[in-house]
């Protein structure tokens, strides 16, 4: 198992996979259900929690990640709003964590809905790092 300092590409690849999954999963007029991707010796796993509210789903998803001791890496993704581009926009957020690292990172990708007949969500600009050194999730 590599550490974040040894090979950050593995964590970045997992974060990119989560961002791709988020864009494939989000509905043009509805929220993205929070989810996590974990990676460990048994491979990659998609984790979702069911709850009445999005905030509860996000908290439960984080808890499920914390309770997965075999994970070497994990990312948690959700939909929200960001002012990262200078204006309020819909955005996908991805928290990325590596086992044994001192902290995680928070990545944001603003998006907008486009299309007349067939609506689709498309990224606006490149993903950006909002925060480094987030408290470790596991």
Q: DSSP character for 109?
A: E
Residue 73 lies in a domain: yes
Q: Residue 1: its pLDDT value, please?
A: 40
Q: For the residues 86-92, what does the mean pLDDT come to?
A: 92
Domain of 15, in residue numbers: 8-133
Residue 1 lies in a domain: no
SS3 (DSSP) at 50: coil
* pLDDT surpassing 80 at residue 27: no
Q: Checking DSSP bridges between strand 71-82 and strand 89-98, what pairing results, if any?
A: antiparallel
* pLDDT surpassing 60 at residue 4: no
Residue 3 lies in a domain: no
Q: For the residues 16-43, what does the mean pLDDT come to?
A: 90
Q: Residue 8: its pLDDT value, please?
A: 73
| Residue 97 binned pLDDT confidence (cut-offs 50, 70, 90) | very high
Q: How many domains does the chain have?
A: 1
Residue 46 lies in a domain: yes
Structure tokens at 62: 């984080």
Residue 138 lies in a domain: no
Residue 105 lies in a domain: yes
Residue 60 lies in a domain: yes
CA atoms of 57 and 61, how far apart (whole Å): 6
């Amino acid at each position: 198992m590599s550490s974040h300092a040894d090979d950050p590409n593995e964590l970045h690849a997992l974060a990119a996979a989560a961002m791709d999954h988020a864009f494939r999963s989000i509905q043009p007029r509805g929220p993205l259900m929070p989810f996590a991707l974990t990676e460990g010796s048994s491979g990659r796993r998609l984790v979702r929690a069911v709850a009445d509210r999005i905030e509860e789903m996000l908290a439960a998803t984080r808890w499920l990640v914390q309770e997965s001791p075999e994970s070497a890496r994990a990312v948690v993704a959700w939909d929200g709003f960001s002012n990262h581009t200078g204006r309020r926009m819909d955005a996908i957020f991805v928290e990325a964590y590596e086992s044994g690292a001192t902290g995680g990172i928070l990545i944001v990708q603003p998006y907008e809905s486009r299309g007349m007949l067939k609506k689709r969500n498309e990224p606006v600009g490149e993903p950006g790092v909002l925060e480094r050194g987030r408290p470790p999730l596991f």
